[in-house]
Structure 1
Amino acid sequence: MENEVPLSGGRITPGVVRVGRTVRRPATASSSFVAELLGELQREGFTGAPRHLGFDTAGREILSYLPGWVPARFQRWTDPQVAAAGSLLRSFHDATRGSRLAGRHPVVCHHDPGPNNTVFADGVPAAFIDFDTAAPGDPMEDLGYMVWTWCISSQHTAPPATVQAAQVRVLADAYGLDAASRSRLVDAALDRQIRNARWWRSHLARPSPRVADEHEIAGRIRWSEQEHAYTWANRKTFDAALD
């Protein structure tokens, strides 16, 4: 077998490696759904996701390798990059809208479409990876998370809320969000921040091995709560940009 090169990008699934022009990932409880989803995306002509190529003799998923860059950390992005991310998310949702996999829900959501799960090609978001948390849902679940992780930041080095709010509008425009949904967008971001803190907190009560050590988990909880407090304090600014 060709050499295995460890890959980074996603924070949750360990043991992801590149083998030639493929990626091998440990199978999870969601592997069957992911295989069906990636097959459906391919049939619909959506190119912003890897292809599922089956399983290897070790039981790992085999995915096509997508060349490009996956950011290791959140950072500030340009308006064109944010717009490209919003357009990519809309294309993904549209490819699943009304499908059997979406069931009674409007679409299949990625549920973690942050920069760390996005492949950049020539500096522009081109594809999503790590579909382990994909499931039927409401588009606002993904949009709320994307607004937060691509546009909003409580860091002292981040630009003022007015600048961040303008970028929230860039994302909403690129996605093609209607007026009724725009009025729910900030609430969707706040909800994802609280859910993220709750998700990490639930792992503190789980036996080892955990997805991260207690110190890192505690840090992610504090960060999520800090981001929620910042978004809440500036929600009028974010809402006003979406009018």
Structure 2
Amino acid sequence: MPARFQRWTDSQVAAAGALLRGLHDSTRGSRLAGRHPVVCHHDPGPNNAVFCGDVPVAFIDFDTAAPGDPLEDIGYMAWTWCVSSKPDAPPASAQAAQVRLLADAYELDTPSRARLVDAMLDRQARNARWWRGWLTAPGPRVTDDHQIAERIRWSEREHAHTAAHRETFAVALL
């Protein structure tokens, strides 16, 4: 798991959710978003957040930004800020409470809340596929094969954890 992925406080998670909402709202209905609802960051994890003190205040690394559905970013954010399969992580119920806090801070509507767990699972699966693609890509690698394999395994463990606790996350979002 990347070093910047750790246990975040409720206030940090809420600040991140509000920050993402602000990013999405700034592009909603714009020509940049095209026929999509917003421009997504596509990697709004803590590793791409700038902190002032201990509060996330901005995002960096917009190389994968593109028009999309807000749930793509919210699903990724819920995973990377709130969910962890690590043995010493808080129980799934505590993680689910943070996912709800994130959804509340983002002001996520009821229909989207019902799809958020699927969005998390989708982003975890897509992350594993993205890293797997680097194993067979020609040319220079973003990192060595061992690190790529570790990130694939991490994404797969996170997916299995989220799937195993799907009901806990879904109930928390009601």
Q: Same fold (TM over 0.5)?
A: yes
- Identify the match of residue 163 of structure 2 among 223, 232, 236: 232
Task: Tell me the CA shift for residue 176 of structure 1.
Answer: 0.1
CA distance in 1, matches of 2:99, 2:47: 18
**Structure 2: segments with no counterpart, 5+ residues:** none
Task: Tell me the CA shift for residue 122 of structure 1.
Answer: 2.1
CA distance in 1, matches of 2:3, 2:92: 24
Residue-by-residue CA offset, 1:1-30 (whole Å, 9 max, x unaligned) = xxxxxxxxxxxxxxxxxxxxxxxxxxxxxx
Which aligned pairs between 1:111-150 and structure 2 lie closer than 5 A?
111-150=42-81
Comparing both structures, which one devotes a greater share of its residues to helix?
2
Comparing both structures, which one devotes a greater share of its residues to strand?
1
- Identify the match of residue 169 of structure 1 among 100, 105, 108: 100
Q: After TM superposition, what 4+ stretches of structure 1 lie above 2 angstroms from structure 2?
A: none
Which aligned pairs between 1:174-193 and structure 2 lie closer than 5 A?
174-193=105-124
Q: C-alpha root-mean-square deviation of aligned residues, in Å?
A: 1.0
Which aligned pairs between 1:101-120 and structure 2 lie closer than 5 A?
101-120=32-51
Which residue of the partner structure matches residue 131 of structure 2? 200
CA distance in 2, matches of 1:194, 1:219: 14
For 1:195, give the aligned amino acid: R
Residue-by-residue CA offset, 1:117-164 (whole Å, 9 max, x unaligned) = 000102101000000000000000000000000000000010000000
Instruction: Compute the TM-score of the two structures, normalised by the length of structure 2.
Output: 0.98
Which residue of the partner structure matches residue 215 of structure 1? 146
Tell whether 2:74 aligns with 1:74: no
CA distance in 1, matches of 2:53, 2:31: 34
CA distance in 2, matches of 1:234, 1:133: 29
CA distance in 1, matches of 2:4, 2:51: 13
For 1:107, give the aligned amino acid: V
Task: Tell me the CA shift for residue 72 of structure 1.
Answer: 4.7
Which residue of the partner structure matches residue 54 of structure 1? none
* Percent of residue pairs bearing the same amino acid type: 75
Q: Secondary structure at the match of 2:157?
A: helix
Task: Tell me the CA shift for residue 208 of structure 1.
Answer: 3.3
Tell whether 2:12 aligns with 1:95: no
- Identify the match of residue 152 of structure 1 among 79, 83, 95: 83
Residue-by-residue CA offset, 1:64-121 (whole Å, 9 max, x unaligned) = xxxxxxx952000100000000000000000000111100000000000000000010
Higher relative contact order (CA 8 A, sep 6+): 2
Task: Tell me the CA shift for residue 207 of structure 1.
Answer: 2.0
Which residue of the partner structure matches residue 83 of structure 1? 14
CA distance in 1, matches of 2:30, 2:143: 35
Q: Secondary structure at the match of 1:101?
A: helix
For 1:163, give the aligned amino acid: A
Task: Tell me the CA shift for residue 212 of structure 1.
Answer: 1.0
For 1:81, give the aligned amino acid: Q
Instruction: Compute the TM-score of the two structures, normalised by the length of structure 1.
Output: 0.70
Q: Which has the larger radius of gyration?
A: 1
